[in-house]
Structure 1
Amino acid sequence: MPKKIQNFARSALVKPITINEVEYVKQEAKIVYLLECLQKTPPPVLIFAEKKQDVDAIHEYLLLKGVEAVAIHGGKDQEERSRSVEAFRRQEKDVLVATDVASKGLDFPDIQHVINYDMPDDVENYVHRIGRTGRSGNKGLATTFINKSNDESVLLDLKHLLIEAKQKVPPFLAELCSESEKYLALGGEHGCSYCGGLGHRITDCPKLEALQNKQASNIGRRDYLANTAADY
């Protein structure tokens, strides 16, 4: 995890443990493979997809297969989203399918499994997603589907996050190598997959940390302006 996220995790969580699994799944086979992944753990399970139409397609498919599932995304009205969230939180439904609207700001207890139907375009979003499981001293499982349609730079970041977390790196991901890594391999050094700089890894990248701090500052400023406007 980036240093900023590690610090937040240490302050907010108690002995979090997440086991990451990365699966190479062809695009056309992903929705069928979901059923097999759902057998790995008991509910509740969170499934993340990038597109609203994929969320709807997954939800419909699971319902047809007899899975107790609900879905939320930005295209659904607030009342429908609230009903779905509450049904999942009360464990009346076993599976919640969602876009990244559920990766931040919504708290669900005892999530057993997070499935990334799509690898997000930003590694920080990946960290937020899988952080929904493995809390309060419990073990959690995170499964991510990747294939050749994913951007190579994101896959390289994923590879280094798995290495840093001492997780198993599947062969098809381990074979990926950036130009800077190829150069560094000749000298036996390690560098950063985010900026390509020498002498540090992605978890200590000053450029990535500066970007995250800027984003956090912008969010804080927007919140302040919103509160100020509300006061008037």
Structure 2
Amino acid sequence: MDFNSLGLLPCITENLAELGLTRPTPIQTKAIPHAMEGRDILGLAQTGTGKTAAFGLPLLTAIAREQGKPEPKTVRGLVLAPTRELAKQIVENLQAYAKGTHMRVGLVVGGASINAQVNRLARGTDVLVATPGRLIDLLDRRAVTLSQTRFLVLDEADQMLDLGFIHALRRIATLLPQTRQTMLFSATMPKLMAEIAGSYLTDPVRVETAPPGKPADKIEQSVHFIAQGEKTALLIEHLDAHRADPAIVFARTKHGSERLMKNLLAAGYAAVAVHGNKSQGQRDRAIREFREGEAMVLVATDVAARGIDIPGIRYVYNYDLPNVADNYVHRIGRTARAGRDGTAIAYCAPAEMGELRDIQKLLGKELPVSGGTVWSGGASAEQGAGKPKGNGRRGNGGRRRGGKPAGGGERKGNGQRAEAAKPAAQPSSGKAKPARGNRRNARGRGKARAA
């Protein structure tokens, strides 16, 4: 099968050929025919397998066949994405597919001038790509109306739920016509997704190319057990082994990402950072420098876990393990894109054993160990039960510094020293994990702001 056999507009297939795209990927082969028939779609596929074209090509074809131009402030097709980076990537792809069709593809995200966005929306938009928060702001200003929106796409809907956009999605849904075509695409399928699918989709066709949460087969994954304070030195050792190859390094927090980026700069690496404390212009500039090879290392939080599509990335490092196991799949999906090979290495400190177990449960297998020795005990490092097996050197799981528990007495997640260390004299009963509930509650309140 090729794109010419899918019923797309001839000018769109010509654009695809110019882009070097002649044969659809498996998710495109399965989704596009149903989408062209007007069916609602629930699409599940690994990241990097072409989901944007799977919904974008039939969306553009359907809108291009409508008569006339969109009325002022109206939107014909709406694509919602969880992050600015992903939204911008979708717009770039759709504009490339639609070249020569005279369709207006617009972008509205936070961090950019809302007045300029209001002015652009006043003319009417064929396809609008938006983050939920900024779209709500524009709806409140009555700068846009969704009363004539006949096509809706939710891309990476699971991350929208994870970032706390569920209430924004519900509000947006009430403003859309009941008669519409809706397509929902994601790489993972958390339980809450069933509620979203039931609320937005009508008699959907479910298409999937791999079990939800399964990363690409061509990614070589491994884990290295290392003390938190020694991760930077190990990262530099690994980066030294492939200085000519770009790499993405994922950290957990905004401040931690910025600090790590500065440490890499001091070590002689051309490094840039992308996180929630950066302005949109700074984030765009960092990604552009990384894409064009001016920077060889991109340090990022999960804000970039789904918004970077650069085929040449061969290495992804999980400097900090993600708090949500699904995000691990999206992080490592930045490599091995479009059928290429890739390598993903995770660094695991004593306090991150819980995250590692969650990731391995999601994957259905244990990650191969590339260095160090598995931290013994089920309790967190704050309880003093994170002492590794082996001789205590970094290559055998890291060492304990200054007589403190493994991990250097650091609180998991923010890299700051714990306010009060728990005494190690009282062993854990295994019924509860200290402080995890509080950390989860804090994460839930802060995720939407971090994006």
TM-score category (smaller protein): 0.5 to 0.7
Q: RMSD over aligned Cα, in angstroms?
A: 2.9
2:230 counterpart residue number: 29
Rounded Cα–Cα distance in structure 2 between residues aligned with 1:7 and 1:136: 16
Rounded Cα–Cα distance in structure 1 between residues aligned with 2:344 and 2:236: 15
* TM-score (normalizing by structure 2): 0.35
Whether 1:8 and 2:45 are equivalent positions in the alignment is: yes
Out of 167-176 and 26-35, give the one that drifted further.
Answer: 167-176
Q: CA deviation at 1:136?
A: 2.3
| Residue from 95, 104, 121 that aligns with 2:323 | 121
Q: Quick one: structure 1 residues 92 and 126, their matched pair in 2 at CA, closer, same or farther if it must change by over 3 Å?
A: same
Alignment of 1:110-189 (within 5 A): 110-150=312-352, 152=354, 154-161=355-362, 164=365, 168-169=368-369, 172-173=373-374
Q: CA deviation at 1:12?
A: 2.0
2:239 counterpart residue number: 38
2:256 counterpart residue number: 54
Rounded Cα–Cα distance in structure 1 between residues aligned with 2:367 and 2:356: 15
Rounded Cα–Cα distance in structure 2 between residues aligned with 1:11 and 1:134: 8
* TM-score (normalizing by structure 1): 0.65
1:74 counterpart residue number: 276
Q: CA deviation at 1:93?
A: 1.0
Higher relative contact order (CA 8 A, sep 6+): 1
Rounded Cα–Cα distance in structure 2 between residues aligned with 1:114 and 1:11: 14
Deviation track 1:90-134 (CA, whole Å, cap 9, x = no partner) reads: 111101011111101232221110001100011100000001111
Q: Quick one: structure 1 residues 129 and 12, their matched pair in 2 at CA, closer, same or farther if it must change by over 3 Å?
A: same
Rounded Cα–Cα distance in structure 1 between residues aligned with 2:296 and 2:267: 13
Rounded Cα–Cα distance in structure 1 between residues aligned with 2:48 and 2:232: 36
CA contact (8 A) 1:44 1:95 kept: yes
Q: Quick one: structure 1 residues 125 and 11, their matched pair in 2 at CA, closer, same or farther if it must change by over 3 Å?
A: closer
CA contact (8 A) 1:162 1:169 kept: no
Secondary structure of the equivalent of 1:9?
coil
Q: Quick one: structure 1 residues 148 and 79, their matched pair in 2 at CA, closer, same or farther if it must change by over 3 Å?
A: same
Q: Quick one: structure 1 residues 52 and 85, their matched pair in 2 at CA, closer, same or farther if it must change by over 3 Å?
A: same
Alignment of 1:86-125 (within 5 A): 86-125=288-327
Q: CA deviation at 1:151?
A: 5.0
CA contact (8 A) 1:18 1:133 kept: yes
Q: Quick one: structure 1 residues 167 and 50, their matched pair in 2 at CA, closer, same or farther if it must change by over 3 Å?
A: closer
Q: CA deviation at 1:25?
A: 0.9
Q: Which amino acid aligns with 2:357?
A: L
The number of residue pairs the alignment matches comes to 171
Rounded Cα–Cα distance in structure 1 between residues aligned with 2:282 and 2:220: 32
Deviation track 1:190-214 (CA, whole Å, cap 9, x = no partner) reads: xxxxxxxxxxxxxxxxxxxxxxxxx
Q: CA deviation at 1:16?
A: 5.1
Q: Quick one: structure 1 residues 50 and 73, their matched pair in 2 at CA, closer, same or farther if it must change by over 3 Å?
A: same
Displaced runs of 4 or more, over 6 A: 174-177
CA contact (8 A) 1:45 1:95 kept: yes
Rounded Cα–Cα distance in structure 1 between residues aligned with 2:328 and 2:348: 12
Rounded Cα–Cα distance in structure 1 between residues aligned with 2:304 and 2:217: 19
More helix by share: 1
Q: CA deviation at 1:161?
A: 5.0
1:208 counterpart residue number: none
Q: Which of 1 and 2 has greater Rg?
A: 2
- Counting aligned pairs with the same residue, the percent is 35
Deviation track 1:18-53 (CA, whole Å, cap 9, x = no partner) reads: 011101110111111110121343421000101111
